[in-house]
Structure 1
């Protein structure tokens, strides 16, 4: 088995028109580059341990801050994202994409929300409030951030009930590390769907999985024999990698798996050469193949 499995989920909204399509393609590449930079930044301090991040959720928070940021802060946000919501074309494209998320189909649930907890008494520009009140299901909630013990963060009510059946909360003291905070942003993203071709529970069994540095573990593996989109490519320094696509029902989204072909090659040697254009090239050149698929 390969040494490690790395998964990234990309948002691909649909808009009409040639100009809009070019803009969408550019935004998709920028968002993918942002996801890769974010991943590398977080991974640098994890010392090889597993973690889960939502680049889309982080980007949403930064987009909301762009509505109120100016000067050096505004320039830093634009540099981090690679785009600005002050560009009306970008704003319209993203607004359409976020609105499309709420239109579930084929059993798909995909939602994005951001809650802003504002220190009571903090003056906010009416223009800022108006701009973000309709941005990707965002909302305001007054809070006493100087007394974190008195306030509990509640996730978007409809979103959390759909995913968990309840409305879990987290004390603000777990998120606020300074008593001078005036604004806390909490973004949530949920995605629920079923595989286009499901894995059989009867085919699951313990099998060896080779981790980094050659450590072999026995882990539960699910299996299916199926026709999938698959390709073998080489990165910038000639490492051979396999790319597999597992679509969800209705082809509304896909899970892409990227892994070294040589089990002795650490994924860390391949990650620095991953770019948005490389990923776009690989995923666009996959071919139908019938194969056994084993996943933890």
Structure 2
């Protein structure tokens, strides 16, 4: 099982503490879940997302946390409102730092790597205070960025003037003061999650089965099968739709994949998604019961590429992207930095290792057995999380496993 890989890239142009309210430790898990759902809905609404969606909230949050170390004034306030917490509240900072440390603890089942790197233009001054804060937060670091074509600071109309470094050579430490103040930065946040199922799917039990895809597509998709003790429940969403929920644990039981689908074939997944909230998911997860079931789950691999800038703008994070309003003085103690682009790349793969052949075993079990079954044979929602820390590694939907 290699289900999640994330790379989040924030491109910055050449800004120590915002005053903001903090969150309590026990609320952080719900805040992370709510942020994950918010990201998912906005990403799923993007015109170019296709039928399948995956987004990795943990990496997005880490990058925005790093920016909190730099932000002041309205820029800081907008970041705090978007995340729902401030790192400058001591109890919040301590709680999140402990959670990051727990993810790196040896001996845990899943292998989780979460890190953030800020690439700094050689001509940009970075304060030792900011450098220390970044280097001590969730395995983050600062590195010099490769040289690139320089551009001058924006005018009052927001347009940038061209600038040529001394000697006409590539941008570098020899830049003049004005050009150095507007040098580019890049913030790269990465998250990877790797684990195996606590009870694996046998490759010999994988076979093509029908899948009712989005927009009425009738598909035959490679579908894995196992009979196992799982956490399962049937619930109603807030408006009365019947929902089936299945939780598949990973080795070590410290992380799990939650699958949600409408019980009735005539109820589209799109009727369920708007009513998913952090409190609803929490109630469902805490109400699951152990049951022996036949589980049918299609193999799938999803990779998405999103522009986060319009998403963050819609959340009220606007000053960060405005060259005349951004206040990121925590980077160098001076004005001059703002976010140019926010790119999110996410990938998730669910499979059984070493699949080579398929048989009719699963179909025979389904026909002859009276054991209850969960069959993901139509679009479903998934939620990959670590309950001890509250981190949400990936969230998304599968509408077409072959896409």
Q: CA deviation at 1:49?
A: 2.2
Find the aligned partners of 2:237 and 2:25 in 1 and give their Cα distance: 26
Find the aligned partners of 2:77 and 2:109 in 1 and give their Cα distance: 40
- In the alignment, structure 1 residue 98 sits paired with structure 2 residue 100: yes
Find the aligned partners of 2:98 and 2:199 in 1 and give their Cα distance: 30
Which among 256, 261, 271 is matched to residue 269 of structure 1? 271
| Counterpart for residue 282 of structure 1 | 284
Larger relative contact order (CA 8 Å, sep ≥ 6)? 2
Find the aligned partners of 1:227 and 1:278 in 2 and give their Cα distance: 24
Q: Which moved more, 1:207-216 or 1:130-139?
A: 207-216
Q: CA deviation at 1:105?
A: 1.9
| Counterpart for residue 49 of structure 1 | 51
Q: Which moved more, 1:231-240 or 1:48-57?
A: 48-57
| Counterpart for residue 35 of structure 2 | 34
| Counterpart for residue 231 of structure 1 | 233
- Change over 3 Å in CA distance of 1:80–1:145 after alignment to 2: farther
Find the aligned partners of 1:277 and 1:251 in 2 and give their Cα distance: 22
Find the aligned partners of 1:87 and 1:60 in 2 and give their Cα distance: 16
| Counterpart for residue 260 of structure 1 | 262
Q: CA deviation at 1:197?
A: 0.7
| Counterpart for residue 167 of structure 1 | none
**Any idea what the Cα deviations from partners look like across 1:141-186, whole Å, max 9, x if unmatched?**
11146349xxxxxxxxxxxxxxxxxxxxxxxxxxxxxxx6622111
* 8 Å Cα contact 1:57/1:188 also seen in 2: yes
- Structure 1 segment 199-238 matched on structure 2, within 5 A: 199-238=201-240
* 8 Å Cα contact 2:39/2:57 also seen in 1: yes
Find the aligned partners of 1:183 and 1:44 in 2 and give their Cα distance: 29
| Counterpart for residue 295 of structure 1 | 297
Find the aligned partners of 2:81 and 2:4 in 1 and give their Cα distance: 22
TM-score (norm 2): 0.58
| Counterpart for residue 311 of structure 2 | none
- In the alignment, structure 1 residue 245 sits paired with structure 2 residue 258: no
Find the aligned partners of 1:226 and 1:28 in 2 and give their Cα distance: 28
Find the aligned partners of 1:147 and 1:282 in 2 and give their Cα distance: 52
The root-mean-square deviation of aligned C-alpha atoms, in Å, is 2.1
* 8 Å Cα contact 1:223/1:295 also seen in 2: yes
- Change over 3 Å in CA distance of 1:100–1:185 after alignment to 2: same
* 8 Å Cα contact 2:233/2:287 also seen in 1: yes
* 8 Å Cα contact 1:195/1:248 also seen in 2: yes
* 8 Å Cα contact 1:60/1:187 also seen in 2: yes
* 8 Å Cα contact 1:8/1:256 also seen in 2: no
Q: CA deviation at 1:47?
A: 5.4
* 8 Å Cα contact 1:193/1:248 also seen in 2: yes
- Change over 3 Å in CA distance of 1:100–1:234 after alignment to 2: same
| Counterpart for residue 196 of structure 2 | 194
Q: CA deviation at 1:8?
A: 10
Larger Rg: 2
Q: Which moved more, 1:257-266 or 1:90-99?
A: 257-266
* Greater fraction of residues in helix: 1
> What residue ranges of structure 2 are gaps of 5+ in the alignment?
6-22, 151-181, 299-403
- Change over 3 Å in CA distance of 1:93–1:32 after alignment to 2: same
- In the alignment, structure 1 residue 132 sits paired with structure 2 residue 138: no
Find the aligned partners of 1:25 and 1:259 in 2 and give their Cα distance: 29
- Change over 3 Å in CA distance of 1:26–1:193 after alignment to 2: same
| Counterpart for residue 157 of structure 2 | none
TM-score (norm 1): 0.79
**Any idea what the Cα deviations from partners look like across 1:237-277, whole Å, max 9, x if unmatched?**
11111110000111111111111111222211111111101
Q: Which runs of 4+ in 1 moved over 4 A?
A: none
> What residue ranges of structure 1 are gaps of 5+ in the alignment?
1-6, 10-21, 149-179
- Structure 1 segment 146-225 matched on structure 2, within 5 A: 146-147=148-149, 182-225=184-227
